[in-house]
Structure 1
């Protein structure tokens, strides 16, 4: 009988079937990472950007029609009665900019908000400058809600939320990995969720203090950012625990897929939502990084306006993760008890 070569035997010991599956999973995640980030960010184009038009009724109607007919639909224009209304809608996050036409002259005004994303503000300026040039008009730009000078490219909100999300799924993963392969019991799951509450409170406060009083990188209420951070960390941590309860250690990969691979490029950080391709623009608001980034920018620059929806999304992840994690642990506990009873009853 032929003996296996020492090298093949060594390979089998070094690379077990379990390790092979894990490596295959990591390879798949890495390729998905590349696909998601490059797919979302490689070719930014404005699509249906909500903007206002302020002008006399006849001029406003003609301008709205002209903007609506632009190739590929970069803008979603609507007529507004006056510049004050346009400013108020920008602050309320209903629109991203507004063109204020001067019927008595040849120089119009573009209202933008770099607080909502510097890249999008520059994109709107480029689009409207080109349009004005075709009409032999000039344009001046007014930043209604400017980004803080210390908030380079308006990315601090995004990086803050990414840090919170990473802390959430890593802490939840460590809690599970540290106990080995043992299935989570209801008591163990409850303890982990309570521990995540403490972690979330500390991480939320730490992040808010770092970007606010310590570095001065982001304006806005430190207390409000603390609350947002605590909710974000707990939401991601609870969801991670739920995934791990359902599918074991593979739940860590699921958390990375949702939060990092799908969530980060669609969050509206590097590129605000109107510049993202359809798939990423659609899923971003429903995932923790996107909801957190939108809420953080609202707190920092827009007096908290239009943040309710994002907070509800994060709350849904937090509540859903908690319920699924506890319910799964309870059901599996009952299954183990039933198996023990049947084994004991077997003669």
Structure 2
């Protein structure tokens, strides 16, 4: 005869492991809210690097505007100012014509539409205060199918999601920690194949299919492959040491912290200092910068984003292999 024990299912559902995981999910959710709203609720220009061609006194005034929206570097002429923007050493340039009544503002919307608009507002305010006119010239515009230069960010987010979902699937299907180094190496090999295919798919979508970022197919393919491999390898490593909790930590790093600090919707000089400080060191931000540098700035300043992504990839691979030889400690798993 079947004899159900009252409350048995309830006690199982409320096991200590389940409770800890639920609390962890709640904390990640609250972190998501704090991170996104904290980064985006009040964007304002803060220390945007700008080249200035103007008399010394005028350059000093620009550097001391209320709220410090600009960080000014004086240069000799328009050619030098353009070079600083295209070499990714400045985000814009203010060119004052002492003999005329019209100044020129150089911007680069390929680095981010909101930042270019913020520079325009600041420049118009400066010109109005001096009773002058302002001409705005976009010397590195975002593409006609790339509104506000947002495609780079969403491409990177898509690649990242694929990376940590692959790692999560491996953990669920085959266990979070490889039983021996050979199995860890096998996971890395499978991840590498997936990363190459994922990078290829993303490049196909943004180039020949949608024409959002045309003309850079091979470079985007391999940036995507590196990013996906690094994301997946790091997630696999976190799973090897933390079990299923490692998936949550990966989401915390790559999504909760990485997305709002990546320079997608609002660029780094428009968001608060914490997000500005961490963004370029997380694969989300490094990847977004790399894609924009490739597409709009001829690969200038590409070295640092690539190095950041390579370090994450190498660290993930090494830690996964270390986790595969680590002895399993009792009590580390969280029973569901």
TM-score, structure 1 normalization: 0.91
Q: Which of residues 285, 295, 298 in structure 2 aligns to 1:300?
A: 295
Structure 1 residues 272-301: Cα deviation after superposition (integer angstroms, max 9, x where no partner): 111110000000010000000000000111
Give the C-alpha shift of residue 177 in structure 1.
1.1
- 1:152-191 correspondence runs (5 A): 152-180=147-175, 183-191=178-186
1:155-304 alignment runs, 5 A limit: 155-180=150-175, 183-304=178-299
Alpha-carbon distance in 1 for matches of 2:117, 2:73? 20
Alignment root-mean-square deviation, CA: 1.6
In structure 2, what is the Cα distance between the partners aligned to 1:261 and 1:315?
A: 21
What's the secondary structure of 2:327's corresponding residue?
helix
1:97 alignment counterpart: 92
Equivalent pair of 2:96/2:104 in contact (CA under 8 Å):
yes
Q: Offset of 1:181 from its aligned partner? A: 5.9
Task: Deviation per CA, 1:34-57: give whole Å up to 9, x if none.
Answer: 0000001111011111001113xx
CA distance in 2, matches of 1:283, 1:210: 29
1:109 to 2:104 alignment: yes
Aligned residues: 326
Aligned match of 1:71:
66
Q: Is the 8 A contact 1:53 1:63 kept in 2?
A: no
Aligned to 2:117: 122
1:316 aligns with 2:311: yes
- Does the CA-based 8 Å contact 1:116-1:154 persist in structure 2? yes
Deviation at 1:70, TM superposition (A): 1.3
| 1:36 equivalent in alignment to 2:31 | no
Distance 1:290 1:50, change over 3 A: same
* Whole-angstrom CA distance in 1 between matches of 2:215 and 2:83: 18
In structure 2, the residue matched to 1:16 is 15
Q: Which has the higher contact order (CA 8 A, sep 6+)?
A: 2
TM-score, length of structure 2 as denominator length: 0.93
Distance across 2 between alignment mates of 1:219 and 1:311: 20
Q: Distance in 1 between the 2:83 and 2:99 partners?
A: 24
SS for the counterpart of 1:119 is helix
Gaps of 5+ in 2: 331-336
Taking a change above 3 Å as real, the CA distance of residues 112 and 120 of structure 1, as seen in their structure-2 partners, is: same
Higher mean C-alpha deviation, range 179-188 or range 304-313: 179-188
Q: Flag the 1:184–1:153 CA change in 2: closer, same or farther, 3 A.
A: farther
**Bigger mean CA deviation after superposition, 140-149 or 13-22:** 13-22
What does the per-residue CA deviation read over 1:209-268, in whole Å, with 9 as the maximum and x for residues that have no partner?
A: 100111001134110000100000001111111111111111101100000000010000
Cα–Cα, structure 1 residues 103 and 21, in superposed 2: closer, same or farther, change >3 Å?
same
